[in-house]
Amino acid sequence: MIVVMQRGAASREVQQVEERLRELGFATHPIVGVERTVIGAIGDRRDDLLELVANLPGVERVVPVLRPYKLVAREVKEETTAIKVGKALIGGSEVVVIAGPCAVESEMQLLTTAKAVKEAGAHLLRGGAFKPRTSPYSFQGLGEEGLKLLAQAREATGLPVVTEVVDTRDVELVARYADVLQVGARNMQNFRLLQEVGQAGKPVLLKRGLAATVEEWLMAAEYIAAAGNQQIILCERGIRTYETSLRNTLDLSAVPLLKELSHLPIIVDPSHATGNQRMVLPLARASIAAGADGLMIEVHSDPARALSDGPQSLTPPQFAQLMEEVRQVALVVRKPIRAQAATSCQAR
Amino acid sequence: MIVVMQRGAASREVQQVEERLRELGFATHPIVGVERTVIGAIGDRRDDLLELVANLPGVERVVPVLRPYKLVAREVKEETTAIKVGKALIGGSEVVVIAGPCAVESEMQLLTTAKAVKEAGAHLLRGGAFKPRTSPYSFQGLGEEGLKLLAQAREATGLPVVTEVVDTRDVELVARYADVLQVGARNMQNFRLLQEVGQAGKPVLLKRGLAATVEEWLMAAEYIAAAGNQQIILCERGIRTYETSLRNTLDLSAVPLLKELSHLPIIVDPSHATGNQRMVLPLARASIAAGADGLMIEVHSDPARALSDGPQSLTPPQFAQLMEEVRQVALVVRKPIRAQAATSCQAR
Amino acid sequence: MIVVMQRGAASREVQQVEERLRELGFATHPIVGVERTVIGAIGDRRDDLLELVANLPGVERVVPVLRPYKLVAREVKEETTAIKVGKALIGGSEVVVIAGPCAVESEMQLLTTAKAVKEAGAHLLRGGAFKPRTSPYSFQGLGEEGLKLLAQAREATGLPVVTEVVDTRDVELVARYADVLQVGARNMQNFRLLQEVGQAGKPVLLKRGLAATVEEWLMAAEYIAAAGNQQIILCERGIRTYETSLRNTLDLSAVPLLKELSHLPIIVDPSHATGNQRMVLPLARASIAAGADGLMIEVHSDPARALSDGPQSLTPPQFAQLMEEVRQVALVVRKPIRAQAATSCQAR
Amino acid sequence: MIVVMQRGAASREVQQVEERLRELGFATHPIVGVERTVIGAIGDRRDDLLELVANLPGVERVVPVLRPYKLVAREVKEETTAIKVGKALIGGSEVVVIAGPCAVESEMQLLTTAKAVKEAGAHLLRGGAFKPRTSPYSFQGLGEEGLKLLAQAREATGLPVVTEVVDTRDVELVARYADVLQVGARNMQNFRLLQEVGQAGKPVLLKRGLAATVEEWLMAAEYIAAAGNQQIILCERGIRTYETSLRNTLDLSAVPLLKELSHLPIIVDPSHATGNQRMVLPLARASIAAGADGLMIEVHSDPARALSDGPQSLTPPQFAQLMEEVRQVALVVRKPIRAQAATSCQAR
């Protein structure tokens, strides 16, 4: 770390900071400038220590040099982590598409939608059984009943299932039914939940928090990794900004940035990012063009009757159109989309 | 709600929207303008229904007229809710001050600090036993051991105890030791946790989420209230903005705004808001001048050795100075600070 | 507009609002709900009137129904405005690329760069002669000398020139040299400058303000249009958010959104948006995939010696690579890039 | 500055960076860590040079150590700059209040309001003759006619006049009539305007930009100071955040922060910050409690007929109430408000 001393800090203060740094295990290198002294401190980064030092008399601020995350950093593992889910390989050489309704509402709704997205070429099925809703008076999901319907839809289509878990007490239950455990935006810094899903033995899809920095997001992934699970899929889903013409602001810069910072695969959810189905198709194309490993798309067999997030859901024909256009963009960036649907349909 | 139809929506579309609204139990009043038709729909607000309608063909957008929260709204209860904790009355005619260390670190640290804040006139003691930390490698708190030390400090000083709960599985445990359960900023939309603390039979201190709107914050309070508990203290602690010269941006406008929108008491935490102890005193004065019912202030007997958030902690003498200055501002806004410390010390 | 009355507004207050609305030329339609009365007011939108009404006794808020912009709205002109600059048609059926250095520094630098971008297929040359810099101690541009060099580079390459104007007093001067007048992000709400460039008889490239909403941006365009000039190119260049890992947050959702709201062409500047040349290529691909009409890219013959914004500048070979990849994405969205460079080189 | 090299940067790259730094006049101090090398570079801060260095091969990032502003920094001038305007001393030992209508609308409106604010104890009169409005169809101000009315109001009340200038071409004209030149939020980075007002020989009131950081704001002040004028009053007026329940988010933390960073006086405008007159009184009290040197308050003799910003304007009796309450808070922070009104009324 670099410790910047206040202008006019006493040389006694500089000495005290150096002593404290050495006590904490750092080698110190003071540099005396005209206006300020800075101290270079060589040693492991621990955020606790940054804070301790920042509070010593005469210190203006502490600038960390090393990154706070270790296990998920590209620096420690050059090749992208590829995660096998069913026949799909997320983070591999092909674009993977997860699709399905926001919430599981009924057997009919789920099965119809699941078959339609499978038909159009989706690789995984999404659907919420436990829904975190802003209002206590909104539909909260079907709970375990919803999980059973998801398992049934997997049976019927062969598509592995992604579903959200919102409570540490439910992790075991959800892991019994799901192929991938989703941690939603509102729980990105629910650290206990991160630790639990890190021990559940299933891949985790980690959505970016509503107003999380890329660094905080990677630190959340680090919690999961530190609990023993590196099968983590990052999912950009829009951030909160002053702009309110769409629900959130999709941060596509995060895609190439994360490719540089981390070895984890990154997918994009343009449906939640915009809350507007007319924006989903162009932003799905853009996500793949930016280098994303996959997409997460909301599809509903009858959006006008959806109990949750209808306005952002595509109809099955709109989704088929999206798959077609995304397929072409994927070819340009040399991450083709495998025609898994057709093949596995023959197999059934 | 008001349904704004798209420019050029077909009259058949207008009719269909009206029919659907009536199906959903609304009385409808179409208003045909030159460019657009809008439909006034009279009935109860349910956010699910807003979404359903927003997705009908020809609809441009839906504008809710009623507020989404009911139990916590000033509209339904004119007088401010006053919450009795020990001898303090939060939301009553006096300013209440909660003080103590960010994290409980040791018996010595906690007791020394607790006695000091009591001496200076604080009414409640704060201290974290379960700490939500951005990094998995930072100090995570002493857990139940910390709760026991808090109970011990209450014994020694007579100050009721506020402490955070971060996991639904810990609510019962924390409620056994604490006088007020704190829900932290990162858990403001951990809806399961809100439901659990709503049933724990203790007052709840609900911090504003990092990037929560005032409306979302009140909806989080509504979750607690809907679970049966209206003993909720709102705590403004800074929001995330583009400005990075301090940790967060303290939103003091939220104080008079919440006084208008809700009957719940509102306190301010300038320590977490700024992360800089030099800003705490002026913003504490400002909070009370803005009309807040109280303050939450970090105090540490030895900030330079604090394991968490040292840079924002006041020393005991700094805190005594703060109490003195805040007391004078409180008089101006006619919410005096009771000299509880002295009285109850005599009583012991 | 819709006027929402306060809960419990007196019927006399409702009447007064209705009277005032009729005075102002609106037809009124009151709708009496259980909790609140709302008044639909039919008439032209004028933001002054919204404010007047919002301040009447008993009014809670006013919700506009119509959009505040008129001339630049897609609603009033269905086909996209295509702007002819030299041989390029911005907003037409092909993607147009503007490239060049951030600032004009010297004849050598400009000519070398101009020839290189022409060679790689760029359609217009960019370069700043008047630079708005955060610090008064930074390089402020060469002024008229820079404009002359731009004219010289146009002579040498045949590329039309885009350059920024920062002062109402310079509009005439800059318009003498430039083919397109650029209004920068910091001047997006310099309304006098907007009016001046609206009368200068040249197309205007209007960058989005640092923290401008899409609506404010269109209102800035409306100023130019109201001054008599509809030859306006919108340029998304990133917005200010809490995320600081890159310079700004590129808002690609704005591309399909603007396509819906306005008939003006929209291009994207990923160089300023990110401030990091490694992000420029993937985001350039993404911009075109999202439906943008063109790109604005910083290229410098020797970025390591650039006097301004070196870290985000591409070298000529990097730019050639970008053109190649963008060309393929452009084919997918059926907006090919014309090989203008080659053709016109032959012509010379 | 501190130059952080990339992990694994070649030692040749480190050498090249050192050489380049020395060429640019810096003394260099490399510190070789386990993962990364950092280079301390001692010399003057120039933002151009930071950029140049940031772009060298092998460099990850550059961390400035010194602040970018010099003339306006507290570091170079310990005592607060006090600015004499009429009988008021802004930045002195007393709180100063500027009040008046948003826009000058008519002789009657201005004189009535001016007399009322004088009566209640205001020290300066505000009023806009040139109004920067988001919509080209809104009232744009009376122009020079408005300036004349302001001069007339000064005659009638003895209050010095603050008014906005929005165009470099108008600076001379406005300076003929005004006692203080206001640069509005939308022009905070209109650098040419800053330079012009810096040469106009009148104190400048510099509003914070809509989304300006504290550092950018001080850099804008630095432009004025570098043009030869240090009579600068900073005015906090709310910043743009994701929170939309009020117009902007008033950043009161900026007050104590600026007191630390700069010697310039700082006042607060709660009227524009909130856009809601019910919030103005509590936030005016809070501003003074936070340590502000003064206030800027919108008052209108008949807010319901105001042509601009009516909803945020106080009536004269509301303003008198505000003065009374602010006076008491000012006493607590030992910055009394002088009863200038009464005295000078007697004198007339």
What band does A342 get if pLDDT is binned at 50, 70 and 90? Answer: very low
The answer to whether residue B74 sits within a structural domain is no
Q: Burial letters for C263-273: b for 16+ Cβ neighbours within 10 Å, e otherwise? A: bbbbbbbbbbb
Judge whether B138 is closer than 8 Å to chain A, CB to CB: yes
C59 and C163 belong to one structural domain: no
Rg of chain A (C-alpha set)? 23
The answer to whether residue A344 sits within a structural domain is no
The per-residue pLDDT for A340 is 54
Structural domain containing residue B215: 83-332
The answer to whether D56 contacts C219, with C-beta atoms less than 8 Å apart, is: no
What is the enclosing helix (H) or strand (E) of B237?
Answer: none
**Which residues in chain A have their CB less than 8 angstroms from residue C256's CB?**
278-279, 282-283
Distance from C-alpha of B1 to C-alpha of C36, rounded to nearest angstrom: 11
What band does B340 get if pLDDT is binned at 50, 70 and 90? Answer: low
The answer to whether D308 contacts C51, with C-beta atoms less than 8 Å apart, is: yes
C34 and C145 belong to one structural domain: no
A169 and A218 belong to one structural domain: yes
The rounded percent of chain B whose pLDDT value lies above 70 is 97
Distance from C-alpha of D131 to C-alpha of C48, rounded to nearest angstrom: 13
Concatenated DSSP letters for B101-156? -SB---HHHHHHHHHHHHHHT-SEEE-BSS---SSTTS----THHHHHHHHHHHHH
Strand partners, A90: A83
The token duo for D160 is 């010095």
The per-residue pLDDT for C340 is 54
The per-residue pLDDT for C342 is 41
Instruction: Answer positive or negative: Cα dihedral of D73, D76, D82, D85.
Output: negative
A57 and A137 belong to one structural domain: no
Least confident of A8-12, A344-348, C42-46: A344-348
**Neighbouring subunits of A (3+ Cβ pairs under 8 A):** B, C, D
Residue B312: pLDDT above 60? yes
Judge whether A75 is closer than 8 Å to chain D, CB to CB: yes
Distance from C-alpha of D62 to C-alpha of D2, rounded to nearest angstrom: 6
Judge whether A246 is closer than 8 Å to chain D, CB to CB: no
What CATH number has the domain bearing residue A299? 3.20.20.70
- Number of other CB atoms surrounding residue A139 within 10 Å: 17
Nearest CA-CA distance, residue C262 and chain B, Å: 14
Residue C204: pLDDT above 90? yes
- Number of other CB atoms surrounding residue A20 within 10 Å: 20
The per-residue pLDDT for C238 is 98
User: What would the mean pLDDT of B98-119 be, rounded to a whole number?
Assistant: 97
From B138, B210, B219, residue closest to A135, measured CB to CB:
B219
What band does B75 get if pLDDT is binned at 50, 70 and 90? Answer: confident
The answer to whether A134 contacts B189, with C-beta atoms less than 8 Å apart, is: yes
Nearest CA-CA distance, residue D57 and chain B, Å: 28
C46 and C110 belong to one structural domain: no
The per-residue pLDDT for B342 is 40
The answer to whether C257 contacts A245, with C-beta atoms less than 8 Å apart, is: yes
From B2, B33, B244, residue closest to C244, measured CB to CB:
B244
Print the SS3 string covering chain A.
CEEEECCCCCHHHHHHHHHHHHHCCCEEEEEECCCCEEEEEECCCCHHHHHHHHCCCCEEEEECCCCCCCCCEHHHCCCCCCEEECCEEECCCCCEEEEECCECCCHHHHHHHHHHHHHHCCCEEECECCCCCCCCCCCCCCCHHHHHHHHHHHHHHCCCEEEECCCHHHHHHHHHHCCEEEECHHHCCCHHHHHHHCCCCCCEEEECCCCCCHHHHHHHHHHHHHCCCCCEEEEECCECCCCCCCCCECCCCHHHHHHHHECCCEEECHHHHHCCHHHHHHHHHHHHHCCCCEEEEEECCCHHHCCCCHHHCECHHHHHHHHHHHHHHHHHCCCCCCCHHHHHHHHC
C303 and C173 belong to one structural domain: yes
From D32, D35, D66, residue closest to A66, measured CB to CB:
D35
Nearest CA-CA distance, residue A322 and chain C, Å: 12
Nearest CA-CA distance, residue C286 and chain A, Å: 4
Q: Which residue did the predictor score with more confidence, B44 or D232?
A: D232
D234 and D148 belong to one structural domain: yes
From C213, C257, C328, residue closest to A279, measured CB to CB:
C257
The per-residue pLDDT for C303 is 80
User: What would the mean pLDDT of C108-125 be, rounded to a whole number?
Assistant: 97
Q: Give the contacts of D8 (CB within 8 A, at least 6 positions apart).
A: none
Strand partners, D267: D235, D294
Please, what is the average pLDDT of chain C?
92
The per-residue pLDDT for B306 is 75
Q: What angle do CA B237, B242, B246 make, to 5 degrees?
A: 50
Least confident of B30-39, B152-161, C77-86: B30-39
The per-residue pLDDT for A338 is 75
Tens of pLDDT, residues B121-136: 999 999 999 999 999 9
**Is D229 in contact with D205 (CB distance < 8 Å)?**
no
Judge whether C273 is closer than 8 Å to chain A, CB to CB: yes
Q: Give the contacts of A240 (CB within 8 A, at least 6 positions apart).
A: A210, A211, A248, A249, B211, D242
The answer to whether B68 contacts A135, with C-beta atoms less than 8 Å apart, is: yes
Query: From residue D136, how far is each of C182, C218, D132 by CA, in Å?
Result: 20, 11, 9
Residue C128: pLDDT above 50? yes
Distance from C-alpha of D132 to C-alpha of B91, rounded to nearest angstrom: 42
Q: Terminus-to-terminus CA distance in chain B, angstroms?
A: 58
C58 and C89 belong to one structural domain: no
Distance from C-alpha of A312 to C-alpha of A247, rounded to nearest angstrom: 10
Least confident of A303-317, B20-34, D292-306: A303-317
- Amino acid at the residue C132: P
Residue B343: pLDDT above 80? no
D157 and D225 belong to one structural domain: yes
The per-residue pLDDT for B344 is 40
Tens of pLDDT, residues A285-297: 999 999 999 999 9
The answer to whether residue A117 sits within a structural domain is yes
Instruction: Answer positive or negative: Cα dihedral of D119, D121, D125, D126.
Output: negative
What CATH number has the domain bearing residue A45? 3.30.70.1140
The answer to whether residue A347 sits within a structural domain is no
User: What would the mean pLDDT of B86-94 be, rounded to a whole number?
Assistant: 94
Domain count, chain C: 2
Which residue in chain A has the smallest CA separation from B68? A135
Q: Would you put residue D172 in left (φ > 0), alpha (ψ -120 to 50) or beta?
A: alpha
A32 and A89 belong to one structural domain: no
Distance from C-alpha of C90 to C-alpha of C264, rounded to nearest angstrom: 10
Nearest CA-CA distance, residue A296 and chain D, Å: 25
What band does A343 get if pLDDT is binned at 50, 70 and 90? Answer: very low
- Number of other CB atoms surrounding residue C342 within 10 Å: 12
Residue B345: pLDDT above 70? no
Judge whether B274 is closer than 8 Å to chain D, CB to CB: yes
Residue C341: pLDDT above 70? no
The answer to whether residue C76 sits within a structural domain is no
Judge whether B72 is closer than 8 Å to chain D, CB to CB: no
Please, what is the average pLDDT of chain A?
92
The answer to whether B311 contacts A51, with C-beta atoms less than 8 Å apart, is: yes
Tens of pLDDT, residues A158-185: 999 999 999 999 999 999 999 999 999 9
Please, what is the average pLDDT of chain B?
92
What band does A298 get if pLDDT is binned at 50, 70 and 90? Answer: very high
The per-residue pLDDT for D339 is 66
The answer to whether residue B99 sits within a structural domain is yes
Residue B105: pLDDT above 90? yes
The answer to whether residue B198 sits within a structural domain is yes
C184 and C248 belong to one structural domain: yes
The per-residue pLDDT for C105 is 95
D130 and D239 belong to one structural domain: yes
Q: Would you put residue C291 in left (φ > 0), alpha (ψ -120 to 50) or beta?
A: left
Q: Which of residues 186-245 of B touch A (CB under 8 A)?
A: 186-187, 189-192, 210-211, 216, 219, 222-223, 226, 240
Q: Burial letters for C155-191: b for 16+ Cβ neighbours within 10 Å, e otherwise? A: eebbbbbbbbbbbbebbebbbebbbbbbbbbbbbbbb
Residue A306: pLDDT above 80? no
- Model-level pTM? 0.95
The answer to whether residue B75 sits within a structural domain is no
The answer to whether B255 contacts D282, with C-beta atoms less than 8 Å apart, is: yes
Mutate to test the interface with A, among B51, B66, B139, B243 (most CBs of A within 10 A): B51
The per-residue pLDDT for C87 is 93
Q: For every one of its 348 residues, what pLDDT tens digit does chain D have, with 9 covering 90 and above?
A: 899 998 889 999 999 999 999 998 999 999 998 888 999 998 887 777 887 888 788 898 898 888 899 999 998 899 999 999 999 999 999 999 999 999 999 999 999 999 999 999 999 999 999 999 999 988 899 999 999 999 999 999 999 999 999 999 999 999 999 999 999 999 999 999 999 999 999 999 999 999 999 999 999 999 999 999 999 999 999 999 999 999 999 999 999 999 999 999 999 999 999 999 999 999 999 999 999 999 999 999 988 777 777 778 999 999 999 999 999 999 999 888 876 544 443 333
Q: Which residue has the tokens 């300076």?
A: D175
Nearest CA-CA distance, residue B66 and chain D, Å: 15
Q: Compute, in degrees rounded to 10, the torsion defined by CA atoms C335, C336, C337, C340.
A: -120
Query: From residue A332, how far is each of A94, A285, C279, C289, C297 by CA, in Å?
Result: 12, 11, 18, 11, 21
Q: Give the contacts of B94 (CB within 8 A, at least 6 positions apart).
A: B330, B335, B336, B337, B338
Distance from C-alpha of A115 to C-alpha of A153, rounded to nearest angstrom: 8
